[in-house]
Homo-oligomer: A and B are copies of this chain.
């Protein structure tokens, strides 16, 4: 595994969601079905309009989301996750499972968290050791 700056998957990921807002926008699209500018503003996170506008542009440029006019209402724009965006689900799920384990306030289905953990958390140290040797 090579970690040249531009060959690093973590850096690539950070380029997409390495800021305070992008992951929240993706979460709202993924789990809350948000599709419009106003939806994100109303989500209660306190994002400002200029930053929201900027993040939506970036996410569109990175093909995480698509942007199209609502044919039935010319004022509205519909934002939707692309396949690339939907494929961020496993990342979301592992964050769910981790938060469920360490944040007493987080409310995630224990069933879901358990499923994810048995898939990946269980072999943590093993996997870590294996990976380190291949770097």
Q: Which residues of A are at the interface with B, using a C-beta cutoff of 8 A?
A: 1-3, 5-14, 18-20, 23-24, 27, 30-33, 44-45, 84, 86-103, 105-109, 112, 116-117, 119-121, 124-125, 127-128, 131-132, 134-135
Contacts and interface: CB of A to CB of B under 8 A. Distances in A.
B100 A9 contact: yes
Given A95-B91, A98-B87, A14 B20 contact: yes
Contacts of A27: 8, 10
A39 B51 CA distance: 34
Given A24-B14, A31-B131, A84-B102, A9 B90 contact: no
Specify the main secondary structure of chain A where it touches its partner: helix
A99 to B, nearest CB: 3
A3 B32 contact: yes
